[in-house]
Amino acid sequence: MAKRDKKEEKKAADIICSACGAPIPVGENDITQVTCPYCGTVNVLSQEAAELDRILKVRSKARQRDQDADLEYLRKKRQLGGEKGAAGRRETAAASAEKGASRKLQILGRIGMIGFILWCLLLGVALHDEYPAASAVAYVQAFFAIFELVMKKRLYRIGRKKLYVGLLIIMWALTIPFLINVDSPSATQVDREETWPHGTLASLLPGIDSSHCHVYSNSSERFNINVYQYDKDSFSDYVKSCKEKGFSVDPQERDGYYEAYNEDGYKLELNCFDDRLSVQLVEPVKLSKISWPSYMWDGKLPAPASDQGNVTYETETGFNILIGNTSKDDFNTYIDTLLKSGFNKDYNRNGDYFYGKDKEGNRINVTYEGYNSMNVTFYKAEDQK
């Protein structure tokens, strides 16, 4: 059996050429036909093998078509992916640009907000110190700042980024004329062409020969005036003239400042800074007999020696009273009494001033005002109100 299998295997491996009779070896890949290596004749192996060869060729072509279709699908997919990738990159770039623009807008918004706060402060300074031109510039700056903030919040859609940046540049540029107008002495004199008045309290003081004055008040109760383009070197001479007029009681004097009373209790206050002199004179405080609010401290709040005073306010949480007929020695004696009574916690005693607390947290301030008067302010502790 084994011998016959080997013989059939050998026959399957070699065939005889139909033309020259030479043996032709058959390989594994030779399925339907084989070519004679001697004469070149093509020898068909069998009819079944030919049919099989046709089927294999058909299948091979089908596989080739499938492969071509797969390759075409992959090519289109790659092309489509490239287009999506490009679109995604464009979207990413656009988002990045928008984010950068938003960040720049936020920075500009912060600059605008800082400018708005700054210019509001400058406007307050200009109005307080009476610089009309500078005030007008500050008003314009504040207007532009508000308009810029409205644009930032998109409440009023107008223009583009260039307009937004332009507003910031204009606002900051206006700071230069503002400073020029503030620094210019003549800027304060646009509507300040008054002279030193006569009569009422102004007559108690030495006059100043100037046409650059502004009178705020000139009544029997108060006299207040600003003198512009004032020579600061003349301040000491004016203080000397005021002393000669009788304002030398309880004086307080330092560089550019003088405060004193006259014998009738009128209080004078002089302030000289830059090129301006401010003069204020007020009538004496009217005193009357008072009822000391000792109940504020369980009926034990020490009363001053004098019962003459003026009550500024009195509530269930505290009071402020000006005590008259009180010398500096009386003031010091009253402070000693407060310390012994228990107002010795975190206290501060310094010349004409005293501050102290008791163990419950009640506070008292006492200040010697001059001209035989002291000011007493009492604050009740929070847990005792």
* pLDDT-derived band at 20, boundaries 50, 70, 90: confident
pLDDT tens readout for residues 45-61: 666 555 666 676 677 77
CA angle 163, 167, 173 (to 5 degrees): 140
Mean pLDDT for 349-371 is 94
Kindly report, residue by residue over 89-122, the tens digit of the pLDDT: 666 666 666 665 566 666 666 666 676 676 677 6
Q: What is the pLDDT of residues 238-255, one digit of tens each?
A: 999 999 999 999 999 999
Sign of CA dihedral 232, 236, 240, 243: positive
- Averaging pLDDT over each range in 97-106, 208-217, 372-381, which range is the top one? 372-381
d(CA 178, CA 74): 71
Average pLDDT over residues 8-19: 58
The DSSP code sequence of 45-93 is --HHHHHHHHHHHHHHHHHHHHHHHHHHHHHHHHHHHHHHHHHHHHHHH
Bridge partners of 42, per DSSP, are 35
Grade residue 289 by pLDDT with cuts at 50, 70 and 90: very high
Where residue 346 falls (left for φ over 0; alpha for ψ -120 to 50; beta otherwise) is left
Instruction: Break the chain down into helix, strand, coil percent, rounded to 5.
Output: 45, 25, 30
Contacts with 376 (C-beta within 8 Å, 6 or more apart), sequence order: 304, 319, 320, 321, 322, 323, 364, 365, 366
Over 50: is that where the pLDDT of 157 sits?
Answer: no
pTM score, whole prediction: 0.50
